[in-house]
Structure 1
Amino acid sequence: MQIGKRIILLILMLTFSFTGQSQDIKSLITEGNQLNASGDFKGAINQYESALAIEPNNITVKYNLAFSLEAAGRGRESIPYLEDVVRSDASKTIITSSYQLLGGIYDQQGLTRQSIDSYLNGLRIAPADHHLLYGLGLVYFRSRRYDEAEKAAVKAFASDREHAATIRLYSLVSFHQNKRAQALLGLCTLLLLEPRGPHAEEAYNNIQSILRGGTLKQEPGIKLPKLDSEAIAFNQIIRSAVQIAANKPVKKPDLFTEQLQSIFSMMGEYSEKQQKSSFFTTEIVPFFHKLSQSPDLITYSYYIRQKTDKNAATWLTAHGQQTEQLKDWIAKYEKGN
């Protein structure tokens, strides 16, 4: 995993104030930042180390040096500098960014407990920080702590609906808990966002597995949480909807579209009748329920499988206007129209 959002962290480095610093320190930091921006991390490290030789306790330099060391693949060496930063009186933004870096570095080193602690410490300062939530969810997922991973993934998903990695994490966490409806709609969301992305084929194959009734085998030593009534009901909806689609005498334009239409429609109708709401029923299901009632569903069903299905790619090429209509429909939905 690449740690954090390097572009964002780099911007932070470039915006530090030089007030009260000597001209030599200022020049060294400026040169280091320029080298970082050009990808010359080794050169940047040399500049920051020279600056630290002049001012050993300079927090700005320590943060920048830690960033460059991690970017150069020397993350373990950056840990002491980042620990100094989080113990300092630096700004909230710098502290949370340092915890983000620490969490990712500890994770890479296999230090799970330290990684989780770093993300949690950062979230105590910035509870809604998307990158901290995503990093925490990823560590929990790798540790097979799926219930905790799901909670972090939901919060991260809610804070950024267009971060593909978060949506994929939410889907995989759900799938590993046999919450097949949550996994299915998560994957449908991911493919709408990145239909030709690096995980598009994986996502489509997992959708097909879910439609066929597939579940992941329980991992040795991992006790999954008991499904609540909502998850059980949604899993049953998938089974029923797939059967309904299979029994239709005329399939227009194809079985996959019929399956999606039935699933989205039945999930929406079920959600509307529930008194108890969840993120899934209020923030994810309504979009697909509305889509099931639109003629743009046909375009959507081809759009999300264009990387895997050659016929879908051919159809989209021949129906450019319908693709634009789908995009217009999504834009109107997001605006509440």
Structure 2
Amino acid sequence: MTLNLPIELPIATDTVFRTFCPNTFSELHSPYGYANSGFKAICLNTQKYSDQNLYNLPVKTTPKTLETKKLDFGIALIQSFSVQKAGNAFVECEDIWHYAERNPMVSIALSDGATESSFSREWARELVKAFVDRDLPWQEVYACAANWLLPLQTSWQQWLTHQNLSWFAKRKSGEGAFATFVSLEVFADLSWKSLAVGDSCLFMVRDRCLQTSFPLQKSHEFNNRPRLIGTNVKAANINISQIHGDAKHCDRFYLATDAIACWIFKQLEVNQNPWVKLDELTSQELFAEWVTASREQYEIANDDTTLLCLEIQDATKIRCEP
């Protein structure tokens, strides 16, 4: 995500939510492609800044699973695809996500680092890991953002002071790192909660009809200065938007960074059904081919592009039918 950062970070405002359903299509589902569940490290190698190795990122880990009880439904991560901006290496992709199965919920978070800030990819990674792997009870997280963010910002500043950076790198990093953020947590009673800052979006879909979009509602709301979470902004002053609701069997939740989220809104605004096309993207290869073709036709912006999809499934079935 490329943007010009303001000196003063904008604060998220109250969000108004609406529910609508486009005309549905009658085509049959294409077979699902089941992505590897759990945390997928978007960056397979360490990134270097001023000749310093920053983080040793794991190539692949499995979901963090805590004690669970038997339920009549399951939550499957059925799509987890990312494509870097054209002209960049995959290890430069600044879209980072993390996923874990917890009792009594599933937790997933997606963040898009702001390109023009230093260490934005690393900050995005720390945001999603700190949220998903936290020890705080969910009640404290949703009551006040400072409960979750302040310890992370403190540890970030401590880490930064121990880096052997050039004078220019120190000056640049002192301005802070920034990233968007969106999360989803589904509980044992099928209630769900989401937090968001910026233009990474959540879409709740039932029977191929959009029930809720969050935090944005229209394609014209996307611009090059989204709201961000910064390392230097006081956690207590960051107003993170939140929403909650109830899910049913076969509901789907899509988490998307700005490029594909904007495409989804544009499809809906011309009475097209984007979920039909997204159903066809059953592998990373098909997703990458579609993103490349869409960029060439100027349908999707040339930016890091990530799509995640979770489905509420009957525990006795492999997948839900349309």
TM range (shorter): under 0.3
Query: Greater share of helix residues, 1 or 2?
Result: 1
Say which structure, 1 or 2, has more relative contact order (CA 8 Å, 6+ apart). Answer: 2
Larger radius of gyration: 1
Q: Which structure features the higher share of strand residues?
A: 2
